[in-house]
Structure 1
Amino acid sequence: MAFISAQSPPRTIEIQRWVLDSPTQLRTLRASLHKAITGQVLAEGEALDEVPEKVVLVATELATNALRHGLPPTIVRLGRAGDRFVLDVADHSPDAPPEYQAGRPLGHGGLGLQFAKQFSLEIGWYVEDDTKHVWAEFPVPA
């Protein structure tokens, strides 16, 4: 198992927050998150070449993990720290640390952490009170 940094992300200015209780809300999260970053709605089937689309993908995967394995509600926050976006996905299962396993076959879970590690500058997790947070940093597009 590869190690994920057990530390808090840098301090951020919160841009937007979403509270999710079920997987049916993920579609709304994707569109709203993309709009929060770019000012434009994410088009169906749009390529994941750019930072906003990668943030949306990682947010969706981490939120799916939190909804599946954590206790509701799942809280997704988008913040900014200087030249970086910080995505923070929280659930209320502090005793279930995230497990990253490189090379895990598709369909066997863990895809959210694999995408986060591949697409972000840094990932980590921490527990605050009764809440577990998994976070990822992305560059702010020029």
Structure 2
Amino acid sequence: MTSLPASVPYPLAAEICRWTLATYGELRGLRAELRDALAGSAETGDVTDRMTVVANELATNALRHGLPPTVVRLLRQGDRLIIDVADHDRDAEPRVAEDRPLGAGGLGLQLTRSFAADVGWYATDATKHVWASFAS
């Protein structure tokens, strides 16, 4: 397994939307509301689809491996859109399972790295964040 790069992205990014999740059942609402928010930003279908998959995968990982609540934010800085997903397990560094066979699970970070322009993570005093950026 390999680690994601540790870095705080886009410090001047403005928050567009925020979702707080406690259960897997709330992922459907996240996907629908994210699509609506991106439609209002005039993003192309491809960017919307990739961002929706990434937000869903990162939120699922946070719900499964992190500590609640999970907070998903959609941010914008210049020509970049950023998905930032936080949970409260600061000590669990996100790792990419590169050698895991298909169908064995654990592909969320691999999908994120292939769909996003850039991916990383950072910790604050209270939370761990995994983020992915996309050209808008």
- How many angstroms apart in 1 are the aligned matches of 2:106 and 2:133? 18
Deviation at 1:110, TM superposition (A): 2.6
Unaligned ranges ≥5, structure 1 = 41-48
Deviation at 1:4, TM superposition (A): 1.4
After superposition, residues 32-111 of structure 1 pair within 5 angstroms as: 32-39=33-40, 50-111=46-107
- How many angstroms apart in 2 are the aligned matches of 1:37 and 1:28? 14
- How many angstroms apart in 2 are the aligned matches of 1:93 and 1:108? 24
| CA deviation map 1:52-89 (0-9, x unaligned) | 11000000011001001111100000000100101100
- How many angstroms apart in 1 are the aligned matches of 2:98 and 2:71? 26
Match of 2:129 among 103, 127, 133: 133
State the secondary structure of the residue aligned to 1:105.
coil
- How many angstroms apart in 2 are the aligned matches of 1:68 and 1:113? 13
Deviation at 1:112, TM superposition (A): 1.4
- How many angstroms apart in 1 are the aligned matches of 2:32 and 2:40? 10
Deviation at 1:6, TM superposition (A): 0.3
Partner of 1:19: 20
Given that 2:3 and 2:93 are in contact with CA atoms closer than 8 Å, whether structure 1 keeps it comes out as no
State the secondary structure of the residue aligned to 1:32.
helix
Given that 2:97 and 2:107 are in contact with CA atoms closer than 8 Å, whether structure 1 keeps it comes out as no
- How many angstroms apart in 1 are the aligned matches of 2:34 and 2:110? 20
Q: Which moved more, 1:103-112 or 1:69-78?
A: 103-112
Q: Residue type matched to 1:8 in 2?
A: V
Given that 1:4 and 1:124 are in contact with CA atoms closer than 8 Å, whether structure 2 keeps it comes out as yes
Given that 1:99 and 1:110 are in contact with CA atoms closer than 8 Å, whether structure 2 keeps it comes out as no
Percent of aligned pairs with the same residue? 53
Unaligned ranges ≥5, structure 2 = none
Q: Residue type matched to 1:18 in 2?
A: W
Partner of 1:46: none
CA RMSD of aligned residues (A): 1.5
Given that 2:3 and 2:94 are in contact with CA atoms closer than 8 Å, whether structure 1 keeps it comes out as no
| CA deviation map 1:81-121 (0-9, x unaligned) | 10010110000001111011224223433311111100001
What is the count of residue pairs matched by the alignment?
Answer: 132
